[in-house]
């Protein structure tokens, strides 16, 4: 017989999410395209209670629900026959449907270079995200001060074609996340090497 100490119940993050989006692009010149896009989403948690404006989460509060709305613009410029440059900027709003504690506005900027030749395909991207929280606190308590969060990342993705159907792939990513709430602050790195067979 196994005996275990009593465990605390885990937080249930089960939810449903519904989303929709659209985008339109226009060719400015032979070597340049501009596009705009928008998206909308709803995320409904099954049992996770929403927070009050002071960060308190009462069990009897309504289940947490978020609405997301975003718009953005992307510019693609061909530098050479093999090289494209891409700039992308977007603004996204999240609304906490209870009292607005978890509302935020996110500014996202991304720059990307894409290179394609008969042998090599490569993509290098750098992105930055800045979150503006209107009401949230660090540690979800007024004593923690205003909540702040920024994220910066870099990615490199390379495909080398060995034969017509066989490629060697390599991927590397580094993400640095800073926050006034240490629970959300972390550094992340990832490196992967593989092979790809395309029929």
Q: In the predicted model, what is the mean pLDDT of residues 49-67?
A: 97
pLDDT band at 94 (very low <50, low <70, confident <90, very high): very high
Output the pTM of the full model: 0.87
pLDDT tens-digit series, residues 106-121: 999 999 999 999 999 9
Strands (E), 50-145: 63-78, 83-96, 104-116, 120-137
What architecture does CATH give domain 15-197?
Beta Barrel (2.40)
pLDDT tens-digit series, residues 3-31: 546 656 678 899 999 999 999 999 998 89
**What is the rounded distance in angstroms from the CA atom of residue 20 to the CA atom of residue 40?**
5
Domain ranges of the chain: 15-197
């Amino acid at each position: 017989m196994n005996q275990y100490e009593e465990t605390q119940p885990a937080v249930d993050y089960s939810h449903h999410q519904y989303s929709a989006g659209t985008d339109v692009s226009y060719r400015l010149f032979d070597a340049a395209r501009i596009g705009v896009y928008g998206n909308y989403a709803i995320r409904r948690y099954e049992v996770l209670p929403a927070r009050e404006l002071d960060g308190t989460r009462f069990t009897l509060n309504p289940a947490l629900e978020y609405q997301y709305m975003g718009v953005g613009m992307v510019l693609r410029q061909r530098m050479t026959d093999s090289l494209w440059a891409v700039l992308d900027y977007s603004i996204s709003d999240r609304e906490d449907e209870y009292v607005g504690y978890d509302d935020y506005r996110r500014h996202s900027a991304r720059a990307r270079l894409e290179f394609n030749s008969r042998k090599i395909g490569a993509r290098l991207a750098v992105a930055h995200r800045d979150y503006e929280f209107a009401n949230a606190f660090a540690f979800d308590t007024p004593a923690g001060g205003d909540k702040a969060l920024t994220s910066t990342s870099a990615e490199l993705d390379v495909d080398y074609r060995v034969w017509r159907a066989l490629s060697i792939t390599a991927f590397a990513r580094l993400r640095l996340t800073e926050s006034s709430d240490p629970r959300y602050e972390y550094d992340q790195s990832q490196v992967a090497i593989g092979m790809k067979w395309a029929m």
